[in-house]
Amino acid sequence: MPGISIAYSSVHQVYQIALAAQELGELDNFFCSVIDAPGKWGALFSLMFGRDRLINRRCPELNLQHVKEYPWPLAFQYFKQMQRKRLGPADWEATNNLFDKWAAQKLKSVTSQLFVGVETCALRCLEVAHQRNMTTLLDCHQVHPDFLDRVIADAASDLSIPVPETIDTSTWRKQKLQEFELADFLLLISEPQKRSFLDAGFAPEKLATITLWADTTTFYPPPAAIPKNSGVLRVLFVGGLCLRKGVPYLLKAMELCGSSVELSLIGAKTSEIAEFLEKAAGKFNYVPTMTKAQLREYYWQSDVLVLPSLVDTFGWVAMEAMACGLPVIVSENCGVPVPDENWRVPIMNAEAIAEKLSILQENREYCASLGEIAANFAQKFTSQRYREQLQTLFKQILSQG
């Protein structure tokens, strides 16, 4: 019986999507750049570029007979990155478009009933799928661009700074909008993301929301209790130091709290909020990047993670922190689920962040108890749970013919 074909050049959750289709007994084809497995191009890439580079492109449970690789766009991208250190949007566009063209050609000869593509890498595949009367599902990893633009512009106005460039080029934005319209269904990962598509006029029945998971093999509570300084609340932020992540509001909140809190920022700096970082120089600890194992140690040493994002489709770092036994303060536009909605604050509100930090600083036992709640909560969100919910969606779509 015709089943499911899946295509994507990069990672996100597509390997789990392919595994979910396989577990359902419906996986026909998984078109990817590489997979790190014996006899595949990914194994060679692992030797050439390092196993850590391919860590998210491994899925030993997948039947390799269903997997077809097209490594060349990714290889060109890797070599570019070795030369320049940093890739621009045009580089990602080129990689995805080359892969999409290849996958679309492959799709012309399959007999699947359902095609699953991924945002920014599926336009030609969606066109071919419709020509072949396949049902189409588009996995979306960002909010609707109109929603993002509106929120960023509001914050820039509030802070009296220029509106920074968005993550989308004009051509990529146009492609996204075309993909959204072409797809029969959109696969989303959070309620804020769903809200952005509803605001843009999409019908609720076109939107399916399935929450992501916690990587509890890498992120977990410390094996033994770690002594904490009861006089200072250690606050952690992880992510790009940019306007979208709400960093200026976190810096203002720390100023309101005074010396009773200590902030560590982990992530790449951007020029768009340089003036706020310069003004707060000396008032936070800064680390550019680190390995996942090192990041886990930071989670263990901290008292609370704050993610005051203006827009965050999910917010993996908040889920990682909770899995490590750390309470979190996240914004209302951060898609990660939390044990209690009181753990959220309004966007662009430094006072609300400072108020919650003060409560935790004044009651350290309460703060520790929230950490236990966070760890137990994160344990519920497994990759198996994600796949099972996705399989329910697949069954619903396939049953419609």
Same domain, 342 and 281: yes
Same domain, 117 and 167: yes
Cβ(325)–Cβ(375) below 8 Å: yes
| Local confidence band at 143 (pLDDT 50, 70, 90 cut-offs) | very high
Cβ-based neighbour number of residue 206 at 10 Å = 13
Same domain, 129 and 23: yes
Same domain, 189 and 293: no
How many Å separate Cα 184 from the centre of its chain?
23
Same domain, 367 and 386: no
The pLDDT > 70 percentage for the chain reads 99
Same domain, 130 and 177: yes
Same domain, 297 and 374: yes
pLDDT in tens, 374-390: 999 999 999 999 999 99
Report whether pLDDT(332) > 70: yes
Same domain, 374 and 387: no
| 219 located within any domain | no
pLDDT at residue 192 in the model: 97
Report whether pLDDT(363) > 90: yes
Q: What is the phi/psi pair of residue 33, to 5°?
A: -70, -60
pLDDT at residue 67 in the model: 97
| 221 located within any domain | no
pLDDT at residue 1 in the model: 56
pLDDT in tens, 207-250: 999 999 999 999 999 999 888 887 899 999 999 999 999 999 99
pLDDT at residue 83 in the model: 77
| 350 located within any domain | yes
CATH code, 267: 3.40.50.2000
Element (H, E) at 369: helix 364-378
pLDDT in tens, 11-20: 999 999 999 9
The pLDDT > 90 percentage for the chain reads 85
pLDDT at residue 228 in the model: 83
Same domain, 259 and 341: yes
| 227 located within any domain | no
pLDDT at residue 151 in the model: 97
Please give the average per-residue pLDDT across 147-152, as a whole number.
96
| 226 located within any domain | no
pLDDT in tens, 173-191: 999 999 999 999 999 999 9
pLDDT at residue 168 in the model: 80
| 259 located within any domain | yes
Please give the average per-residue pLDDT across 327-344, as a whole number.
98
pLDDT at residue 289 in the model: 84
Same domain, 32 and 177: yes
Report whether pLDDT(2) > 80: no
CA distance 377 to 373: 6
Report whether pLDDT(82) > 80: no
| 168 located within any domain | yes
Q: Nearest-CA neighbor of 277 among 245, 315, 308, 242?
A: 242
| 224 located within any domain | no
pLDDT at residue 89 in the model: 78
pLDDT at residue 227 in the model: 85
DSSP 3-state percent helix, strand, coil across the chain (nearest 5): 50, 15, 35
- Tell me the two tokens of residue 250: 């976190």
Same domain, 42 and 150: yes
Same domain, 204 and 82: yes
Please give the average per-residue pLDDT across 332-340, as a whole number.
98
Mean pLDDT score across all residues of the chain: 94
| Local confidence band at 337 (pLDDT 50, 70, 90 cut-offs) | very high
Report whether pLDDT(331) > 60: yes
Q: What is the pTM of this model?
A: 0.94
Report whether pLDDT(6) > 60: yes
Cβ-based neighbour number of residue 230 at 10 Å = 10
Range of the domain at 179: 4-213+382-399
Report whether pLDDT(85) > 70: no
The tally of domains found in the chain comes to: 2
